[in-house]
Every structure is written in structure tokens, then in C-alpha cells.
Amino acid sequence: MKCIISESNYLLFAAQHYDSVFPDTLEFYEDLKRVVYIKRLFNIYIERGELKERLIINHLIILYNMFGNNTTAMLFFKLAGYESLLKTFLTFINRMPDRIDGIGLPPRTIIDCDIPIDVEVWERLKKI
């Protein structure tokens, strides 16, 4: 059975999927803050047009190293409203699945082909 991720179980979901050799509470919360940093970087891009694509990619890679494939559900849950930007980056690092089930309450399903890619960001990512 697939877990439905919601505000009430987000931390538990993240903790269950945290992969650290020496788990440390402080380190766990610092890794979770990366989602907030990504959201902040997306906001800066939307408001000012400044894109720090390498920093975003670094945060994403660290999140996937620590939380595995469950990172995708966590990101789409916490970054609702930024789906197009998120999909663009996840597609670039080859982490965008065709479908994600059980996001939020009521549970919704995210389908890859329903979310457009941000063409301007994609062009910048291709130059890396």
C-alpha cells in the first residue's frame, strides 16, 4: 500500500525514508531544510528572474541521496504551486516519474504529462 503524504505525517514519512549511516536529528532537519531552500530559490527566480540552477541541482541531489526515490513525493507535496519548475529540474536530473500517487489530503495523483516544462529554465539547464 502506498503511503499518502500529508501535513500531519510529513515528518514521519521523511524520517522513515531517511538514509544516513549515523542518523542525527540535527542533520535530519538540516537535510529537510533543503526543500525550503529550493522553494526560496524558486521564489527568487519568479520574482527577480535570478536562477541559481546549480545550487538547486545540488540541493536536489543531496535530497535524493538522503531520502531516495521518496524525495519526489516530498518535493511535490511541499512545493505545490511550483510543479512546472520542479518538473523541469527533475526531468533534467532524470528523476521525474510518470506518476506520483497519494500527495496531500484529499489524496491527489500527479501525472507527468499534465505538467508543462518551463522552457526558459530548460534552455539554461541544457547549457550546464
> What are 18-46's pLDDT values in tens digits?
987 777 889 999 999 999 999 999 999 99
User: What's the confidence (pLDDT) of residue 2?
Assistant: 62
Segments in the chain below pLDDT 70: 1-2
Instruction: Write down the pTM of the prediction.
Output: 0.91
Sequential DSSP letters for the chain: -PPPB-TTTHHHHHHHT---SS--HHHHHHHHHHHHHHHHHHHHHHHH----HHHHHHHHHHHHHHHGGGHHHHHHHHTTT-HHHHHHHHHHTT---SEEEEETTTTEEEEGGGS---HHHHHHHHT-
User: What's the confidence (pLDDT) of residue 54?
Assistant: 98
The domains of the chain are located at 10-126
